[in-house]
Amino acid sequence: MMEFAVMIMAVSVAVLVVYLVMTLKKLQTSLDTANQTLGEARDAIHSWKGDVQGLVVSVKDLTNQVNRQIDAVDPLMASVRDMGEAIHEVTSSAKEVTESWMGKLRSQAQKASIATKGSWMDWVEAGVKAYHVVRSASKVLQTSPQAVEALQQEVRKDIHEIERDVLKKDRLSGHGGAVTLG
C-alpha cells in the first residue's frame, strides 16, 4: 500500500508539474504578447514624438507671428486714438469760436437794428455776410488742425467787413455810435 500511495503522490506531483509547466507557458506567451505590445507602443510614441515636436514648433511660430502682428497694430491704434483726441479738440475749439462769433453777430445785429431803421436790403446783405461767417466756421469743423488758423483769419476778415459796413450805415444815417465785434 505504501507503494501505491507513493505512486499516487508521484502521479499527483507529475500532474501538478505538467499543469504548472502549461500555466508557465501560457504566462510566458502572455508576457511575450505584452512585451510586443509595449514595443509597438514605444515605437508609436517615438514616431509621434517628432510630430508632436513639430506641432509645438508650429504653434510657437504662430504665436510669435500673432504677437508681432499685435505689436504692429498697437502704434496704429495709438495713432487713431491720438487723431480722435485731436479732432475732438479742434471741434471743441471751433464750436467755442463759432458760439463766440454768433453771440457777437447777434449783439451787432441788435445794435444795428436799434441804431438804424434800414431797408430790407441792408438786412439781406447782413444776412449774407453772417452766412459767410457761419460757413467759414463750419469749414473749421471739417478741416484739419493746420487749416484752422487760416480759416480763423478769413472769418475775422468777414467780421471786419460787417463792422465796416455797419459803421458806414451809421455814418450815413447820422448815428455816431460805433459797434465792434472783434
113 pLDDT band (50/70/90 cuts)?
low
Burial of 137 (0-12, 13-18, 19+ CB in 10 A): buried
Distance CA 91, CA 85 (A): 10
Question: Quick check: 148 and 93 in contact, CB under 8 A?
Answer: yes
Helices (H), the chain: 2-115, 120-142, 145-173
In degrees and rounded to multiples of 5, residue 124 shows phi and psi of -65, -45
CB count, 10 Å around CB of 166?
25
| pLDDT value at 30 more than 80 | yes
| The pTM of the whole model exceeds 0.95 | no
If we measure between CA atoms, which residue out of 158, 160, 157 comes closest to residue 179?
A: 160
Q: pLDDT tens across 33-82, in order?
A: 999 999 999 988 888 888 888 888 999 999 999 888 888 877 877 877 88
Handedness of CA 57, 60, 66, 70 (dihedral sign): negative
Top pLDDT among 123 and 36 is at: 36
